[in-house]
Amino acid sequence: MAGQEKHYFARGNTAVGLYTLYDSVLNGLDTVFVINGQTGSGTSQLLAQLAEAWRSNDWTKHYIHETLDNERLEGIILEEPRIGVIDGNAWSADPILEGTEIRLLDAIQALREGLLEEAEDVTTGQDAEMAVLYKKAYDSFLKTLRIHDEWEKFYIDNLDRGSANRITSEFADEYLIPVGTKKAIIKHRFLGAATWQGAVDYVPNLTETLRTRIFVKGRPGSGKSTMFKKLAKEAEARGIDTEIYHCGFDPNSLDMLIFPELSLAIFDSTAPHEHFPTREGDSILDVYELAIREGTDEAYAEEIAEIRGRYTSSMKNSIAVLSDVKRIRDEIWEAYDTAIDPAAMKALAGQIIQQIEVLTNSAALSED
């Protein structure tokens, strides 16, 4: 029986730049394999081979997606054996995790030396061009966030904070019931990201096995993120393990909390990650109806429509710049792909699988 698969991001192209949560994502693992070296798409190819090799086993697999192109992986975590395999270019130049064995692997060995030099010559200057475009994208995201701040102000100014606090405390008292006396384990991740194709999220996947799902509706500035921050703090104080999912646009904002021991999730279910109840155990919590002064939408309809238009236009511009980044990166990767030795790449995947078999006393990949 195949184990559960979880999909999320560990990094984000955000309004404050490239933001990483890898240290939290990888914290607590016993062993992390770090794949170093410029290989074009080789690392994601290797991770895809590993994902396929482990697809039918009963481990819970965490698939960490690339923030620019979510169709590619930059990491895999095997939950039960507490093992991770990570693209070193995505994580850190000098990876350190307390209590974790780091095994460094050099993917350059899977490239043909002469062709590697040709690839480096062909791509000269393109990394610098990508860096300029990334900065342009981040500047555009920041501009978009400032427009979003204008949008939020209408609702912040009309928020009944007493009602908002009551909603939070009632939720905590009803749902956050400790399952024992212990220190809480806290994990930070991104449920979604701003990719070259726009916003992508994995809310349905991350919540599909949970008994209770609370879909929070509202408006920008209606107190959703503040509520999540208070609930996360309260859960930690009560010793309840919590997965904290940050906003892929503004990492200082929270979009979802999952409490695995309680089989419970509460999440912001508004655009760009809008979802609706589909089964028993799902319910809607509308903070606009419960905590915002009645008639706020109607009173500021014209002003809000103008701001929404500017926000949408600015966000489209930001995504368009990321599309330019991907185009250039694809050109770089295409050059490096010509240097990849497929047999050597498969052998490297086999080395990782073999080492993990030794660590776990398992046979994850059958003989060809």
Domain ranges for the chain, please list them. 5-111+340-360, 159-292
Q: How far apart are CA 270 and CA 218, in angstroms?
A: 7
Predicted pLDDT at 39: 67
Confidence check: pLDDT of 237 > 60? yes
pLDDT, tens only, 8-38 = 999 999 999 999 999 999 999 999 999 987 7
Gyration radius of the chain over CA positions: 22
Q: How far apart are CA 185 and CA 183, in angstroms?
A: 7
Predicted pLDDT at 37: 79
Q: How far apart are CA 229 and CA 88, in angstroms?
A: 31
CB contact at 8 A, 65 and 57: no
Predicted pLDDT at 342: 87
Q: How far is CA 297 from CA 29, 91, 159, 219, 339, in A?
A: 47, 43, 12, 9, 57
Q: How far apart are CA 301 and CA 28, in angstroms?
A: 48
Write down the H helix ranges in the chain: 22-26, 42-54, 88-91, 113-122, 126-156, 161-175, 203-207, 224-237, 287-291, 296-299, 301-337, 342-360
Q: How far apart are CA 269 and CA 271, in angstroms?
A: 7
Confidence check: pLDDT of 302 > 60? yes
pLDDT, tens only, 98-109 = 999 999 998 877
Predicted pLDDT at 328: 94
Q: How far is CA 194 from CA 9, 64, 232, 318, 320, in A?
A: 10, 15, 24, 9, 11
Q: First-to-last CA distance in the chain?
A: 21
